[in-house]
C-alpha cells in the first residue's frame, strides 16, 4: 500500500492506484485504507472542491469491496485514477453477473441499497463484463 507520509507527492505518484486483494472480509477495510491514502496524497496537490467528495469516494470504495466479497468468490482488484475533474474508481471481481437494483427490506437485515447509492453518489456508473469477471466503473466528483 502506498504511503506518502509528509513529502509532497508528484503527479506520477498520485495518478493512480492499483491493488489486488485476496477477497477476505478484512480486505474491505484494506481497500478503504488504501483509497484514503490515495485521496490524502491527491488532496495535497488538488484539494476536493467540496468536503463531501472525500467521504463519497470512500463510501463507494467500501460498498464495491463489500459487494465483491459478498457476491463474487476469490480476489478483487481496486483501481483509482484521477481525472480532469474527479476520480475514476474501478472494482474488478470474479463474477460475470451484472449488479442489479434490489428492493430494500430493513426487516430482513437490510441490504439492497448499494446499487442505488452508487448511482446517487457517482456522476457515472458502468459495468463491463469479461470472461474472468467484471469491472464496475464509477466516476465521482473531486
Domains of the chain: which residue ranges?
11-141
Fold of 11-141: Heat Shock Protein 90 (3.30.565)
pLDDT at 19: 97
Query: Can you tell me whether residue 116 is helix, strand or coil?
Result: helix
Range name among 32-41, 90-99, 108-117 with the lowest pLDDT average: 108-117
Cell readout for 36 is: 484514503
pLDDT greater than 80 at residue 84? yes
Whole-model pTM over 0.75: yes
Range name among 9-13, 56-60, 81-85 with the lowest pLDDT average: 9-13
Cα gap 102→116, rounded to integer Å? 9
pLDDT greater than 90 at residue 64? yes
pLDDT greater than 80 at residue 74? yes
Specify the pairing of strand 133-141 against strand 124-130: antiparallel
Which phi and psi angles does 117 have, rounded to 5°? -60, -45
Cell readout for 97 is: 453477473
Beta bridge partners, 90, equal 79, 137
pLDDT at 8: 46
Amino acid at each position: 500500500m502506498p504511503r506518502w507520509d509528509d513529502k509532497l507527492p508528484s503527479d506520477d505518484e498520485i495518478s493512480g492506484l492499483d491493488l489486488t486483494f485476496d477477497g477476505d472480509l478484512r480486505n474491505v477495510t484494506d481497500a478503504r485504507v488504501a483509497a484514503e491514502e490515495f485521496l490524502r496524497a491527491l488532496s495535497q496537490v488538488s484539494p476536493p472542491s467540496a468536503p463531501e467528495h472525500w467521504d463519497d469516494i470512500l463510501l463507494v470504495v467500501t460498498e464495491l469491496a463489500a459487494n465483491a466479497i459478498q457476491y463474487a468468490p476469490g480476489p478483487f482488484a481496486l483501481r483509482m485514477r484521477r481525472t480532469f475533474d474527479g476520480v475514476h474508481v474501478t472494482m474488478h471481481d470474479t463474477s460475470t453477473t451484472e449488479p442489479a437494483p434490489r428492493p430494500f427490506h430493513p426487516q430482513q437485515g437490510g441490504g439492497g441499497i448499494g446499487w442505488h447509492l452508487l448511482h446517487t453518489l457517482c456522476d457515472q456508473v458502468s459495468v463491463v463484463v469479461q470472461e474472468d469477471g467484471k469491472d464496475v466503473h464509477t466516476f465521482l466528483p473531486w
